[in-house]
């Protein structure tokens, strides 16, 4: 017996990280990834029929890649060998492969789970190929990086790539509720929602927070202060799937629409501090640029799209500054919802009126027969006219002269209004009364 061997008897399971203790033993207890593990889904079918092939699990941290690999090995009656790309090299690979080859000759299958497979270089990844091809191993690689860039093409062609998604707040709450009896705690759902929000799709992070907070909460009740201390910041009332989520994004949107950059920054900061998905905020800023600014400042949507790309490229926290910059720009920009209202009016007209055929002069005539039938007859090619302006009507006869877009006199849209007024005067029949143009 070694001096450092544990004493006989059952080991103290409570000393292991909570995330390790909470790994499920049954596939039915696995939470998340229904798009590949739901009934009838491809990976689920492979596991249930024991027809497993090599695969790559690609997804962010804490979504269950290691747990899923262990469940696959258990359900398919395979020997499970975990292997870390951080700690191992070619020598270790060859030793493990030799063991796997012996197992195959004895009639046993081996699942080799390679965590962070993207950390292996090309030569190390090449070392797996002959063993995968011969069937000595079923390779399951886990990676947080895009396999198309980080895994050699020869391995990719021999393995099925499954993309795992971040867990939802509801799924993480389910995991936390299961863990409460393990840490011998009771907790209000609001506290679990706060932990799930901060975890941002990462179950391991959620478990770690719960474990730390439980250790600092006496008498079996999880304390808000203990949770705040565990995450080392103030907990804000926020639920990405609940009312407060919509309240805050509504406040941000209305502050931008009201041209109040200070209020916009405050509500943005509240969302950032509560752990809101940055790309969700970026998408909403793009909507604000289109819906509330529109053609009063056409560059607003350019700024919003540039913000979205910046946030995606830089991540947290560097990308947060791009969100702030975009929010300030949009709040300060001239406002117009004319284009937004114009589309709604056009949609309403389409829904409530007959779908008239396209006028003949607007139809292409690629064949002689179509020209003989009158296709394109009377078409006026704008570039052949002065200022590229024609008197041709492009709406169906029943809608001739209908105006959906009525620009404001704010920002760039004031110049657009002047231009459209001139165009519309040109299109009016000479004997008609001029229509009043409204801003």
User: pLDDT value at position 286?
Assistant: 97
Q: How far apart are CA 434 and CA 83, in angstroms?
A: 80
User: pLDDT value at position 261?
Assistant: 92
User: pLDDT value at position 85?
Assistant: 64
- HSE-up of 340 (CA within 13 Å, CB side)? 12
User: pLDDT value at position 411?
Assistant: 92
Question: Which of 299-313, 318-332, 350-364 has the weakest average pLDDT?
Answer: 350-364
Beta-sheet strand order (sheet of 79-84): 79-84, 110-115, 138-143, 55-58, 160-163
Q: pLDDT tens digits, residue range 4-14? A: 344 444 445 66
Q: pLDDT tens digits, residue range 342-389? A: 999 999 999 998 888 999 999 998 998 988 899 999 999 989 888 888
Q: What is the mean pLDDT of the segment spanning 190-195?
A: 86
CB 119 within 8 A of CB 85: yes
**Using 50, 70 and 90 to split pLDDT, how confident is the model at 245?**
confident
Question: Which of 134-138, 294-298, 327-331 has the weakest average pLDDT?
Answer: 134-138
Q: What is the mean pLDDT of the segment spanning 38-45?
A: 87
Of 247, 329, 245, 347, the closest CA to residue 292 belongs to 329
Q: Mind listing the domains of the chain with CATH numbers? A: 32-163 (3.40.50.300), 169-231 (1.10.8), 243-332 (1.20.272.10)
User: pLDDT value at position 234?
Assistant: 52
Q: What is the mean pLDDT of the segment spanning 125-149?
A: 83
Q: pLDDT tens digits, residue range 83-105? A: 776 666 667 777 777 777 777 77
pLDDT surpasses 50 at 436 = no
CB 68 within 8 A of CB 33: yes
């Amino acid at each position: 017996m070694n001096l450092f061997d544990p004493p006989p008897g059952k080991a103290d399971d409570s000393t292991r990280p909570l995330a390790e203790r909470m790994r499920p033993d049954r596939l039915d207890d696995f939470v998340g990834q229904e798009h590949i593990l739901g009934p009838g889904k491809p990976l689920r079918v492979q596991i249930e029929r024991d027809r497993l092939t090599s695969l790559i699990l690609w997804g962010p941290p804490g979504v269950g890649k290691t747990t899923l690999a262990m469940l696959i090995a258990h359900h398919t009656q395979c020997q499970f060998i975990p292997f870390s790309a951080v700690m191992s090299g070619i020598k270790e690979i060859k030793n493990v492969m030799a063991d796997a080859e012996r197992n195959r000759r004895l009639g046993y299958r081996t699942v080799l789970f390679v965590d962070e497979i993207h950390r292996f270089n090309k030569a190390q990844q090449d070392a797996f190929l002959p063993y995968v091809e011969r069937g000595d191993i079923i390779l399951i690689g886990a990676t947080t990086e895009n396999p198309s860039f980080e895994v050699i093409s020869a391995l990719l062609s021999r393995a099925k790539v499954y993309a795992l998604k971040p867990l939802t707040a509801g799924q993480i709450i389910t995991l936390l509720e299961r863990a409460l009896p393990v840490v011998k705690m009771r907790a209000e759902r609001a506290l679990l929602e706060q932990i799930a929000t901060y975890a941002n799709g990462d179950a391991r992070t959620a478990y770690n927070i719960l474990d730390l907070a439980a250790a600092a909460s006496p008498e079996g009740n999880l304390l808000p202060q203990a949770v705040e201390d565990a995450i080392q910041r103030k907990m804000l009332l926020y639920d990405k799937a609940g009312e407060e989520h919509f309240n805050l994004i509504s406040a941000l949107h209305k502050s931008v629409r009201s041209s109040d950059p200070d209020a916009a920054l405050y509500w943005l900061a509240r969302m950032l501090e509560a752990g809101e998905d940055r790309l969700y905020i970026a998408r909403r800023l793009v909507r604000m640029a289109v819906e509330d600014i529109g053609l009063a400042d056409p560059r607003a949507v350019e700024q919003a799209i540039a913000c979205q790309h910046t946030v995606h490229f830089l991540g947290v926290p560097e990308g947060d500054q791009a969100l702030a910059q975009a929010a300030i720009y949009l709040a300060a920009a001239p406002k117009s919802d004319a284009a937004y209202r114009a589309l709604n009016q056009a949609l309403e007209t389409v829904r409530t009126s007959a779908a008239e055929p396209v006028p003949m002069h607007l139809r292409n005539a690629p064949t002689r027969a179509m020209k003989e039938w009158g296709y394109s007859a009377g078409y006026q090619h704008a570039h052949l006219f002065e200022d590229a302006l024609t008197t041709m009507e492009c709406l169906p006869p029943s809608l001739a002269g209908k105006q959906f877009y009525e620009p404001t006199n704010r920002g760039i849209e004031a110049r657009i209004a002047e231009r459209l007024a001139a165009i519309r005067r040109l299109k009016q029949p000479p004997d008609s009364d001029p229509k009043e143009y409204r801003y």
